[in-house]
Structure 1
Protein backbone atom coordinates (compact mmCIF):
# COMPACT_ATOMS: atom_id res chain seq x y z
CA UNK A 1 0.00 0.00 0.00
CA UNK A 2 1.15 3.52 -0.79
CA UNK A 3 2.37 5.14 2.49
CA UNK A 4 1.40 8.52 1.04
CA UNK A 5 -2.21 7.61 0.28
CA UNK A 6 -4.38 10.68 0.74
CA UNK A 7 -7.73 11.04 2.43
CA UNK A 8 -9.49 12.03 5.64
CA UNK A 9 -8.95 15.02 7.86
CA UNK A 10 -5.25 14.28 8.31
CA UNK A 11 -4.68 13.93 4.54
CA UNK A 12 -2.17 11.07 4.93
CA UNK A 13 -1.19 8.29 7.38
CA UNK A 14 2.04 9.88 8.60
CA UNK A 15 0.27 13.09 9.64
CA UNK A 16 -2.32 11.04 11.52
CA UNK A 17 0.42 9.11 13.34
CA UNK A 18 2.25 12.32 14.22
CA UNK A 19 -0.91 14.00 15.48
CA UNK A 20 -1.64 11.13 17.86
CA UNK A 21 1.94 10.74 19.06
CA UNK A 22 2.46 7.26 17.62
CA UNK A 23 6.23 7.37 17.23
CA UNK A 24 6.65 3.76 16.14
CA UNK A 25 4.02 4.08 13.42
CA UNK A 26 5.41 7.40 12.20
CA UNK A 27 8.93 5.96 12.05
CA UNK A 28 7.74 2.87 10.17
CA UNK A 29 5.81 4.94 7.62
CA UNK A 30 8.81 7.16 6.99
CA UNK A 31 11.04 4.12 6.58
CA UNK A 32 8.57 2.76 4.01
CA UNK A 33 8.61 5.93 1.96
CA UNK A 34 6.12 8.31 3.53
CA UNK A 35 6.85 11.89 2.49
CA UNK A 36 7.73 13.98 5.58
CA UNK A 37 7.28 17.14 3.49
CA UNK A 38 3.71 16.43 2.41
CA UNK A 39 1.36 19.41 2.71
CA UNK A 40 -2.35 19.31 3.48
CA UNK A 41 -4.83 18.08 6.02
CA UNK A 42 -5.89 19.39 9.38
CA UNK A 43 -2.39 20.36 10.49
CA UNK A 44 -0.95 21.32 7.09
CA UNK A 45 2.17 19.20 7.61
CA UNK A 46 3.60 16.43 9.76
CA UNK A 47 5.66 18.76 11.97
CA UNK A 48 2.63 20.80 12.97
CA UNK A 49 0.79 17.55 13.68
CA UNK A 50 3.63 16.40 15.93
CA UNK A 51 3.39 19.63 17.89
CA UNK A 52 -0.27 18.88 18.55
CA UNK A 53 0.71 15.58 20.16
CA UNK A 54 3.56 17.23 22.11
CA UNK A 55 5.83 14.43 20.90
CA UNK A 56 9.45 15.47 21.28
CA UNK A 57 10.56 12.16 19.76
CA UNK A 58 8.49 12.62 16.59
CA UNK A 59 9.60 16.23 16.18
CA UNK A 60 13.22 15.07 16.42
CA UNK A 61 12.53 12.28 13.92
CA UNK A 62 11.05 14.72 11.39
CA UNK A 63 13.87 17.21 11.81
CA UNK A 64 16.38 14.42 11.21
CA UNK A 65 14.54 13.74 7.96
CA UNK A 66 15.22 17.31 6.90
CA UNK A 67 11.87 18.92 7.66
CA UNK A 68 12.03 22.71 7.81
CA UNK A 69 11.78 23.91 11.45
CA UNK A 70 10.23 27.21 10.32
CA UNK A 71 6.90 26.45 8.60
CA UNK A 72 3.99 28.67 9.54
CA UNK A 73 4.02 29.56 13.22
CA UNK A 74 5.80 26.48 14.57
CA UNK A 75 8.12 28.19 17.04
CA UNK A 76 5.39 30.54 18.27
CA UNK A 77 3.07 27.59 18.93
CA UNK A 78 5.53 25.64 21.06
CA UNK A 79 6.58 28.79 22.91
CA UNK A 80 2.93 29.59 23.64
CA UNK A 81 2.24 26.14 25.06
CA UNK A 82 5.47 25.98 27.03
CA UNK A 83 7.08 23.02 25.27
CA UNK A 84 10.64 23.91 26.27
CA UNK A 85 12.25 20.70 25.00
CA UNK A 86 10.66 21.12 21.56
CA UNK A 87 11.66 24.80 21.44
CA UNK A 88 15.23 23.67 22.08
CA UNK A 89 15.02 21.05 19.32
CA UNK A 90 13.73 23.59 16.81
CA UNK A 91 16.37 26.15 17.73
CA UNK A 92 19.14 23.55 17.54
CA UNK A 93 17.90 22.72 14.04
CA UNK A 94 18.05 26.33 12.89
CA UNK A 95 14.60 27.73 13.62
CA UNK A 96 14.45 31.49 13.15
CA UNK A 97 14.28 33.13 16.59
CA UNK A 98 12.56 36.24 15.32
CA UNK A 99 10.14 34.80 12.76
CA UNK A 100 6.66 36.31 12.93
CA UNK A 101 3.31 34.90 11.89
CA UNK A 102 0.59 36.70 9.92
CA UNK A 103 -0.49 38.62 13.03
CA UNK A 104 3.13 39.71 13.67
CA UNK A 105 3.48 37.59 16.79
CA UNK A 106 6.83 36.03 17.64
CA UNK A 107 8.05 33.34 20.02
CA UNK A 108 9.29 35.73 22.70
CA UNK A 109 5.95 37.54 22.74
CA UNK A 110 4.07 34.24 23.12
CA UNK A 111 6.30 32.86 25.88
CA UNK A 112 6.16 36.13 27.81
CA UNK A 113 2.39 36.31 27.53
CA UNK A 114 1.92 32.74 28.78
CA UNK A 115 4.39 33.05 31.62
CA UNK A 116 7.03 30.57 30.49
CA UNK A 117 10.11 31.99 32.18
CA UNK A 118 12.32 29.10 31.04
CA UNK A 119 11.46 29.63 27.37
CA UNK A 120 11.82 33.40 27.61
CA UNK A 121 15.28 32.90 29.10
CA UNK A 122 16.17 30.31 26.46
CA UNK A 123 15.15 32.60 23.60
CA UNK A 124 17.07 35.52 25.05
CA UNK A 125 20.17 33.37 25.58
CA UNK A 126 19.96 32.27 21.95
CA UNK A 127 19.95 35.87 20.81
CA UNK A 128 16.38 37.06 20.51
CA UNK A 129 16.12 40.84 20.70
CA UNK A 130 14.32 41.62 23.99
CA UNK A 131 12.75 44.63 22.26
CA UNK A 132 11.49 42.82 19.17
CA UNK A 133 8.18 44.33 18.09
CA UNK A 134 5.04 42.44 17.16
CA UNK A 135 1.73 41.08 18.32
CA UNK A 136 -1.26 42.73 19.93
CA UNK A 137 0.83 44.06 22.81
CA UNK A 138 3.65 45.50 20.73
CA UNK A 139 6.48 43.90 22.69
CA UNK A 140 7.22 41.01 25.01
CA UNK A 141 7.53 43.44 27.92
CA UNK A 142 4.02 44.77 27.37
CA UNK A 143 2.66 41.24 26.94
CA UNK A 144 4.24 40.12 30.22
CA UNK A 145 3.13 43.28 32.00
CA UNK A 146 -0.48 43.04 30.87
CA UNK A 147 -0.66 39.40 31.99
CA UNK A 148 0.96 40.20 35.35
CA UNK A 149 4.05 38.04 34.75
CA UNK A 150 6.29 39.87 37.18
CA UNK A 151 9.18 37.38 37.07
CA UNK A 152 9.29 37.65 33.27
CA UNK A 153 9.07 41.45 33.40
CA UNK A 154 12.14 41.44 35.66
CA UNK A 155 13.95 38.97 33.40
CA UNK A 156 13.24 41.01 30.27
CA UNK A 157 14.45 44.19 31.93
CA UNK A 158 17.61 42.43 33.14
CA UNK A 159 18.25 41.25 29.57
CA UNK A 160 17.90 44.69 28.06
CA UNK A 161 14.22 45.28 27.39
CA UNK A 162 13.55 49.01 27.19
CA UNK A 163 11.06 50.03 29.91
CA UNK A 164 10.32 53.18 27.89
CA UNK A 165 9.52 51.31 24.68
CA UNK A 166 6.71 53.02 22.77
CA UNK A 167 4.68 50.83 20.44
CA UNK A 168 4.22 52.51 17.07
CA UNK A 169 2.65 49.52 15.33
CA UNK A 170 -0.85 49.83 16.75
CA UNK A 171 -0.52 47.83 19.97
CA UNK A 172 -3.19 48.04 22.64
CA UNK A 173 -1.49 50.08 25.35
CA UNK A 174 1.36 52.02 23.79
CA UNK A 175 3.75 51.26 26.63
CA UNK A 176 4.32 48.86 29.51
CA UNK A 177 3.35 51.34 32.24
CA UNK A 178 -0.15 51.76 30.84
CA UNK A 179 -0.58 48.00 30.54
CA UNK A 180 0.51 47.51 34.16
CA UNK A 181 -1.74 50.31 35.37
CA UNK A 182 -4.78 48.86 33.65
CA UNK A 183 -4.03 45.47 35.14
CA UNK A 184 -3.75 46.98 38.61
CA UNK A 185 -0.31 45.49 39.18
CA UNK A 186 1.24 47.74 41.80
CA UNK A 187 4.51 45.82 41.98
CA UNK A 188 5.11 46.04 38.23
CA UNK A 189 4.06 49.70 38.08
CA UNK A 190 6.53 50.44 40.89
CA UNK A 191 9.27 48.46 39.14
CA UNK A 192 8.79 50.43 35.91
CA UNK A 193 8.69 53.77 37.72
CA UNK A 194 11.90 52.85 39.57
CA UNK A 195 13.45 52.18 36.16
CA UNK A 196 12.74 55.80 35.29
CA UNK A 197 9.61 55.47 33.20
CA UNK A 198 7.77 58.79 32.92
CA UNK A 199 4.48 58.48 34.87
CA UNK A 200 2.88 60.84 32.34
CA UNK A 201 3.99 59.02 29.20
CA UNK A 202 1.31 59.28 26.52
CA UNK A 203 -0.02 56.73 24.06
CA UNK A 204 -2.16 53.65 23.75
CA UNK A 205 -5.86 53.06 24.17
CA UNK A 206 -6.22 55.00 27.43
CA UNK A 207 -3.89 57.91 26.72
CA UNK A 208 -1.78 57.51 29.85
CA UNK A 209 -1.27 55.27 32.85
CA UNK A 210 -3.35 57.14 35.41
CA UNK A 211 -6.36 57.16 33.10
CA UNK A 212 -5.92 53.43 32.57
CA UNK A 213 -5.78 52.88 36.34
CA UNK A 214 -8.93 54.92 36.89
CA UNK A 215 -10.87 53.48 33.96
CA UNK A 216 -14.39 52.44 34.96
CA UNK A 217 -14.38 49.70 32.36
CA UNK A 218 -11.29 47.94 33.69
CA UNK A 219 -11.59 44.21 34.24
CA UNK A 220 -9.55 44.20 37.45
CA UNK A 221 -10.49 46.28 40.49
CA UNK A 222 -7.81 44.88 42.78
CA UNK A 223 -4.84 47.20 43.01
CA UNK A 224 -6.38 50.16 41.19
CA UNK A 225 -6.09 52.50 44.18
CA UNK A 226 -2.55 51.31 44.91
CA UNK A 227 -1.52 51.98 41.32
CA UNK A 228 -3.15 55.42 41.30
CA UNK A 229 -1.34 56.40 44.51
CA UNK A 230 1.97 55.16 43.10
CA UNK A 231 1.56 57.14 39.91
CA UNK A 232 0.66 60.30 41.81
CA UNK A 233 3.60 59.80 44.19
CA UNK A 234 5.92 59.59 41.18
CA UNK A 235 4.51 62.75 39.62
CA UNK A 236 1.55 61.77 37.49
CA UNK A 237 -0.44 64.87 36.56
CA UNK A 238 -4.19 64.50 36.68
CA UNK A 239 -4.80 67.47 34.42
CA UNK A 240 -3.00 65.70 31.58
CA UNK A 241 -5.58 62.92 31.52
CA UNK A 242 -7.68 63.10 28.34
Structure 2
Protein backbone atom coordinates (compact mmCIF):
# COMPACT_ATOMS: atom_id res chain seq x y z
CA UNK A 1 0.00 0.00 0.00
CA UNK A 2 1.13 3.55 -0.69
CA UNK A 3 2.02 5.92 2.14
CA UNK A 4 -1.04 8.12 1.59
CA UNK A 5 -3.24 5.02 1.81
CA UNK A 6 -1.79 4.23 5.23
CA UNK A 7 -2.47 7.81 6.33
CA UNK A 8 -6.08 7.44 5.27
CA UNK A 9 -6.46 4.29 7.36
CA UNK A 10 -5.03 6.00 10.43
CA UNK A 11 -7.32 9.01 9.96
CA UNK A 12 -10.42 6.86 9.54
CA UNK A 13 -9.54 4.86 12.65
CA UNK A 14 -8.87 7.93 14.76
CA UNK A 15 -12.18 9.43 13.67
CA UNK A 16 -14.12 6.22 14.20
CA UNK A 17 -15.39 6.01 10.63
CA UNK A 18 -16.10 2.29 10.62
CA UNK A 19 -17.95 2.00 7.29
CA UNK A 20 -15.22 3.83 5.38
CA UNK A 21 -12.54 1.80 7.12
CA UNK A 22 -14.28 -1.44 6.15
CA UNK A 23 -14.33 -0.33 2.53
CA UNK A 24 -10.60 0.43 2.60
CA UNK A 25 -9.86 -3.00 4.08
CA UNK A 26 -12.32 -4.96 1.95
CA UNK A 27 -9.63 -6.95 0.16
CA UNK A 28 -7.85 -9.80 1.92
CA UNK A 29 -4.47 -8.35 0.91
CA UNK A 30 -5.27 -5.01 2.58
CA UNK A 31 -6.50 -6.74 5.72
CA UNK A 32 -3.38 -8.90 5.87
CA UNK A 33 -1.09 -5.91 5.34
CA UNK A 34 -2.68 -3.82 8.09
CA UNK A 35 -2.70 -6.66 10.59
CA UNK A 36 1.02 -6.35 11.30
CA UNK A 37 1.47 -2.69 10.39
CA UNK A 38 3.05 -0.30 12.93
CA UNK A 39 2.96 3.44 12.26
CA UNK A 40 5.58 6.10 12.92
CA UNK A 41 8.20 6.22 15.66
CA UNK A 42 5.60 5.28 18.28
CA UNK A 43 4.94 1.99 16.52
CA UNK A 44 1.19 2.27 17.09
CA UNK A 45 -1.19 -0.02 15.26
CA UNK A 46 -4.74 0.78 14.16
CA UNK A 47 -5.88 -1.07 17.28
CA UNK A 48 -3.91 1.34 19.47
CA UNK A 49 -5.53 4.31 17.75
CA UNK A 50 -9.02 2.86 18.13
CA UNK A 51 -8.51 2.10 21.83
CA UNK A 52 -6.99 5.52 22.54
CA UNK A 53 -9.87 7.38 20.89
CA UNK A 54 -12.56 5.17 22.38
CA UNK A 55 -13.95 3.76 19.14
CA UNK A 56 -15.32 0.47 20.42
CA UNK A 57 -16.92 -0.73 17.17
CA UNK A 58 -13.73 -0.04 15.22
CA UNK A 59 -11.74 -1.90 17.83
CA UNK A 60 -14.10 -4.88 17.71
CA UNK A 61 -13.89 -4.93 13.89
CA UNK A 62 -10.09 -4.92 13.96
CA UNK A 63 -9.97 -7.78 16.47
CA UNK A 64 -12.81 -9.98 15.26
CA UNK A 65 -12.70 -9.45 11.49
CA UNK A 66 -9.16 -8.33 10.72
CA UNK A 67 -7.67 -10.65 13.32
CA UNK A 68 -5.46 -8.16 15.15
CA UNK A 69 -3.80 -9.43 18.31
CA UNK A 70 -5.43 -8.00 21.44
CA UNK A 71 -1.96 -7.93 23.06
CA UNK A 72 -0.17 -6.20 20.17
CA UNK A 73 2.37 -3.69 21.50
CA UNK A 74 3.97 -0.52 20.18
CA UNK A 75 7.52 0.83 20.54
CA UNK A 76 6.95 1.53 24.25
CA UNK A 77 5.38 -1.91 24.74
CA UNK A 78 2.00 -0.30 25.31
CA UNK A 79 -0.91 -2.63 24.64
CA UNK A 80 -4.35 -1.41 23.53
CA UNK A 81 -5.44 -1.79 27.16
CA UNK A 82 -2.77 0.73 28.23
CA UNK A 83 -4.13 3.18 25.67
CA UNK A 84 -7.76 2.75 26.67
CA UNK A 85 -6.97 2.96 30.39
CA UNK A 86 -4.78 6.03 30.06
CA UNK A 87 -7.48 7.91 28.12
CA UNK A 88 -10.40 6.88 30.38
CA UNK A 89 -12.13 4.90 27.62
CA UNK A 90 -14.21 2.71 29.92
CA UNK A 91 -16.18 0.86 27.19
CA UNK A 92 -12.95 -0.14 25.45
CA UNK A 93 -11.36 -1.20 28.74
CA UNK A 94 -14.34 -3.45 29.53
CA UNK A 95 -14.32 -4.98 26.05
CA UNK A 96 -10.59 -5.69 26.07
CA UNK A 97 -10.68 -7.29 29.51
CA UNK A 98 -13.73 -9.38 28.64
CA UNK A 99 -11.95 -10.62 25.54
CA UNK A 100 -8.80 -11.82 27.21
CA UNK A 101 -6.52 -8.78 27.56
CA UNK A 102 -4.01 -9.24 30.40
CA UNK A 103 -5.00 -6.87 33.18
CA UNK A 104 -1.42 -6.35 34.43
CA UNK A 105 0.42 -6.23 31.11
CA UNK A 106 3.55 -4.06 31.22
CA UNK A 107 4.78 -1.26 29.04
CA UNK A 108 8.27 0.24 29.23
CA UNK A 109 9.39 1.15 32.77
CA UNK A 110 6.98 -1.51 34.07
CA UNK A 111 3.77 0.51 34.01
CA UNK A 112 0.50 -1.40 34.22
CA UNK A 113 -2.85 -0.24 32.78
CA UNK A 114 -3.94 0.51 36.37
CA UNK A 115 -1.01 2.89 36.76
CA UNK A 116 -1.90 4.52 33.46
CA UNK A 117 -5.51 4.92 34.60
CA UNK A 118 -4.30 6.61 37.78
CA UNK A 119 -2.65 9.34 35.70
CA UNK A 120 -6.21 10.45 34.93
CA UNK A 121 -9.15 11.12 37.17
CA UNK A 122 -11.09 8.10 35.97
CA UNK A 123 -12.63 6.21 38.91
CA UNK A 124 -14.73 4.03 36.58
CA UNK A 125 -11.71 2.66 34.73
CA UNK A 126 -9.75 2.15 37.95
CA UNK A 127 -12.68 0.30 39.53
CA UNK A 128 -13.07 -1.93 36.47
CA UNK A 129 -9.39 -2.84 36.37
CA UNK A 130 -9.37 -3.64 40.08
CA UNK A 131 -12.53 -5.74 39.77
CA UNK A 132 -10.78 -7.74 37.03
CA UNK A 133 -7.82 -8.50 39.28
CA UNK A 134 -5.37 -5.65 38.68
CA UNK A 135 -2.65 -5.60 41.34
CA UNK A 136 -2.62 -2.24 43.18
CA UNK A 137 0.65 -3.17 44.93
CA UNK A 138 2.67 -3.78 41.77
CA UNK A 139 5.68 -1.45 41.49
CA UNK A 140 7.26 -0.01 38.37
CA UNK A 141 11.02 0.29 37.79
CA UNK A 142 11.22 3.36 40.04
CA UNK A 143 9.40 1.62 42.88
CA UNK A 144 6.14 3.52 42.43
CA UNK A 145 2.82 1.71 42.74
CA UNK A 146 -0.53 3.03 41.50
CA UNK A 147 -1.10 4.87 44.81
CA UNK A 148 1.98 7.05 44.29
CA UNK A 149 0.59 8.04 40.90
CA UNK A 150 -2.92 8.72 42.21
CA UNK A 151 -1.47 10.93 44.96
CA UNK A 152 0.49 12.89 42.38
CA UNK A 153 -2.65 13.55 40.33
CA UNK A 154 -4.56 14.64 43.42
CA UNK A 155 -8.06 13.25 42.91
CA UNK A 156 -9.42 12.53 46.42
CA UNK A 157 -12.09 10.13 45.09
CA UNK A 158 -9.48 7.93 43.41
CA UNK A 159 -7.23 7.98 46.49
CA UNK A 160 -10.11 7.07 48.78
CA UNK A 161 -11.24 4.26 46.47
CA UNK A 162 -7.76 2.73 46.38
CA UNK A 163 -7.57 2.88 50.18
CA UNK A 164 -10.97 1.23 50.42
CA UNK A 165 -10.05 -1.61 48.06
CA UNK A 166 -6.49 -2.04 49.35
CA UNK A 167 -6.20 -0.47 52.83
CA UNK A 168 -2.43 -1.12 53.03
CA UNK A 169 -1.58 0.31 49.60
CA UNK A 170 -0.18 3.47 51.22
CA UNK A 171 2.58 1.43 52.91
CA UNK A 172 4.99 1.84 50.03
CA UNK A 173 8.22 3.63 49.19
CA UNK A 174 9.95 4.26 45.91
CA UNK A 175 13.51 3.12 45.35
CA UNK A 176 14.71 6.42 46.81
CA UNK A 177 12.38 6.02 49.83
CA UNK A 178 9.77 8.54 48.73
CA UNK A 179 6.26 7.89 50.01
CA UNK A 180 2.93 8.87 48.45
CA UNK A 181 2.81 11.63 51.10
CA UNK A 182 6.03 13.08 49.65
CA UNK A 183 4.44 12.99 46.20
CA UNK A 184 1.17 14.64 47.23
CA UNK A 185 3.00 17.32 49.24
CA UNK A 186 5.42 18.08 46.42
CA UNK A 187 2.54 18.65 43.98
CA UNK A 188 0.43 20.68 46.42
CA UNK A 189 -2.50 18.25 46.54
CA UNK A 190 -4.13 19.59 49.72
CA UNK A 191 -7.16 17.30 49.82
CA UNK A 192 -5.06 14.22 49.26
CA UNK A 193 -2.50 15.23 51.89
CA UNK A 194 -5.36 15.66 54.36
CA UNK A 195 -6.68 12.17 53.53
CA UNK A 196 -3.23 10.64 53.94
CA UNK A 197 -2.70 12.31 57.29
CA UNK A 198 -6.11 11.25 58.54
CA UNK A 199 -6.24 7.67 57.25
CA UNK A 200 -2.65 6.50 56.88
CA UNK A 201 0.05 5.92 59.47
CA UNK A 202 2.86 8.03 58.08
CA UNK A 203 5.67 8.75 60.52
CA UNK A 204 6.37 12.38 61.33
CA UNK A 205 9.23 13.78 59.25
CA UNK A 206 9.74 10.58 57.24
CA UNK A 207 12.68 11.38 54.94
CA UNK A 208 13.65 10.04 51.54
CA UNK A 209 17.17 8.89 50.67
CA UNK A 210 18.25 12.53 50.28
CA UNK A 211 16.86 13.50 53.69
CA UNK A 212 13.89 15.38 52.26
CA UNK A 213 10.62 15.25 54.21
CA UNK A 214 7.09 15.88 52.87
CA UNK A 215 7.09 19.24 54.67
CA UNK A 216 10.29 20.23 52.91
CA UNK A 217 8.84 19.14 49.56
CA UNK A 218 5.75 21.24 50.13
CA UNK A 219 7.47 24.46 51.17
CA UNK A 220 10.30 24.18 48.64
CA UNK A 221 7.68 24.01 45.87
CA UNK A 222 5.66 26.92 47.21
CA UNK A 223 2.77 24.93 48.68
CA UNK A 224 2.56 26.82 51.94
CA UNK A 225 -0.94 25.60 52.85
CA UNK A 226 0.23 21.98 52.58
CA UNK A 227 3.27 22.83 54.69
CA UNK A 228 0.96 24.33 57.31
CA UNK A 229 -1.14 21.16 57.34
CA UNK A 230 1.95 19.00 57.90
CA UNK A 231 3.20 21.43 60.53
CA UNK A 232 -0.06 21.16 62.47
CA UNK A 233 -0.66 17.44 62.05
CA UNK A 234 2.87 16.13 62.49
CA UNK A 235 4.72 18.90 64.21
CA UNK A 236 7.18 19.34 61.36
CA UNK A 237 8.78 22.67 60.57
CA UNK A 238 11.30 23.07 63.37
CA UNK A 239 14.34 25.24 62.94
CA UNK A 240 16.53 22.43 61.62
CA UNK A 241 14.05 21.68 58.87
CA UNK A 242 13.90 25.33 57.85
CA UNK A 243 17.69 25.53 57.66
CA UNK A 244 17.81 22.37 55.55
CA UNK A 245 15.13 23.74 53.24
CA UNK A 246 17.12 26.88 52.59
CA UNK A 247 20.30 24.90 51.99
CA UNK A 248 18.42 23.00 49.31
CA UNK A 249 17.46 26.21 47.55
CA UNK A 250 14.02 26.91 48.96
CA UNK A 251 12.76 30.46 48.49
CA UNK A 252 12.52 32.12 51.91
CA UNK A 253 10.06 34.68 50.56
CA UNK A 254 7.66 32.31 48.80
CA UNK A 255 3.95 32.98 49.37
CA UNK A 256 0.80 30.96 48.75
CA UNK A 257 -2.26 32.02 46.74
CA UNK A 258 -3.58 33.96 49.74
CA UNK A 259 -0.35 35.93 50.03
CA UNK A 260 0.76 34.14 53.18
CA UNK A 261 4.44 33.55 53.87
CA UNK A 262 6.15 30.84 55.92
CA UNK A 263 6.11 33.35 58.79
CA UNK A 264 2.31 33.53 58.56
CA UNK A 265 2.17 29.74 58.79
CA UNK A 266 4.48 29.63 61.77
CA UNK A 267 2.23 32.17 63.51
CA UNK A 268 -0.95 30.28 62.66
CA UNK A 269 0.58 27.16 64.20
CA UNK A 270 1.95 29.18 67.14
CA UNK A 271 5.46 27.82 66.51
CA UNK A 272 7.74 30.32 68.22
CA UNK A 273 11.06 28.66 67.33
CA UNK A 274 10.16 28.49 63.63
CA UNK A 275 9.04 32.13 63.63
CA UNK A 276 12.25 33.22 65.39
CA UNK A 277 14.39 31.36 62.86
CA UNK A 278 12.56 32.85 59.90
CA UNK A 279 12.91 36.36 61.26
CA UNK A 280 16.61 35.82 61.99
CA UNK A 281 17.11 34.59 58.43
CA UNK A 282 15.72 37.87 57.13
CA UNK A 283 12.09 37.09 56.37
CA UNK A 284 10.30 40.28 57.33
CA UNK A 285 6.69 40.41 58.40
CA UNK A 286 4.24 41.47 55.72
CA UNK A 287 0.54 41.60 54.99
CA UNK A 288 -1.20 38.75 53.23
CA UNK A 289 -3.90 39.27 50.61
CA UNK A 290 -6.42 40.16 53.33
CA UNK A 291 -4.11 42.70 54.94
CA UNK A 292 -3.21 40.48 57.91
CA UNK A 293 0.36 40.33 59.19
CA UNK A 294 1.98 37.29 60.76
CA UNK A 295 2.23 39.14 64.06
CA UNK A 296 -1.53 39.61 64.14
CA UNK A 297 -1.93 35.83 63.96
CA UNK A 298 0.32 35.22 66.97
CA UNK A 299 -1.71 34.37 70.09
CA UNK A 300 0.50 32.53 72.57
CA UNK A 301 2.88 34.49 74.81
CA UNK A 302 6.05 32.80 73.52
CA UNK A 303 5.43 33.65 69.88
CA UNK A 304 4.18 37.15 70.75
CA UNK A 305 7.50 37.57 72.58
CA UNK A 306 9.37 36.66 69.40
CA UNK A 307 7.77 39.53 67.50
CA UNK A 308 8.29 41.92 70.40
CA UNK A 309 11.99 41.05 70.52
CA UNK A 310 12.22 41.64 66.79
CA UNK A 311 10.76 45.14 67.22
CA UNK A 312 13.26 45.90 69.98
Q: Same fold (TM over 0.5)?
A: yes
Q: Which stretches in structure 2 are left out of the alignment for 5+ residues?
A: 1-30, 256-260, 282-312
For 1:54 and 1:209, the matched residues in 2 are separated by 41
Cα distance, 1:61 vs. partner? 0.7
**Structure 2 CA distance, aligned partners of 1:219 and 1:79?**
34
How far off its partner does 1:21 sit?
Answer: 2.2
Once residues 175 and 124 of structure 2 are traced to their aligned partners in structure 1, the CA distance between those partners, rounded to angstroms, is: 24
Report which of the two structures shows the higher radius of gyration computed on alpha carbons: 2
- Given that 2:54 and 2:89 are in contact with CA atoms closer than 8 Å, whether structure 1 keeps it comes out as yes
Q: Structure 1 residue 178 and structure 2 residue 216: aligned?
A: yes
Q: Which runs of 5+ in 1 are unaligned?
A: 203-207
Could you say which residue in structure 2 is the equivalent of 1:94?
133
Indicate if the aligned counterparts of 2:232 and 2:269 stay in contact, CA closer than 8 A: no
Per the alignment, in what secondary structure is the counterpart of residue 35 of structure 2? coil
CA RMSD of aligned residues (A): 3.3
CA contact 1:146–1:179 (8 Å) conserved in 2: yes
2:84: which partner in 1? 50
Q: What is the aligned partner in structure 2 of residue 20 from structure 1?
A: 53
CA distance in 2, matches of 1:184, 1:15: 39
Query: Is the counterpart of residue 4 in structure 1 residue 58 in structure 2?
Result: no
C-alpha displacement at 1:187, in angstroms? Answer: 3.9
- Measure the CA separation in 2 of the matches of 1:201 and 1:91: 44
Q: Contact conserved, 1:181 with 1:210, CA < 8 A, in 2?
A: no
Q: CA deviation at 1:138?
A: 0.8
* Shift in Å, 1:186: 4.5
Contact map agreement 2:82 2:116 (CA 8 A) in 1: no
Greater RCO structure (CA 8 Å; 6+ sep): 1
Greater helix content:
2
Q: How far apart, CA to CA, are the structure 1 residues paired with 2:178 and 2:56?
A: 38
Choose 65-74 or 211-220, whichever is displaced more.
211-220
In 1, the alpha carbon distance for the partners of 2:225 and 2:75 equals 46
1:226 counterpart (252, 261, 264): 264
Does 1:146 pair with 2:179? no
- Cα gap change, 1:11/1:111 in structure 2, threshold over 3 Å: closer, same or farther? closer
- Please identify, of 87-96 and 228-237, the stretch whose mean Cα deviation from structure 2 is larger: 228-237
Confirm or deny: 8 A CA contact 1:14 1:34 kept in the other structure: yes
Figure out how many residues of one structure are paired with residues of the other and give that number: 233
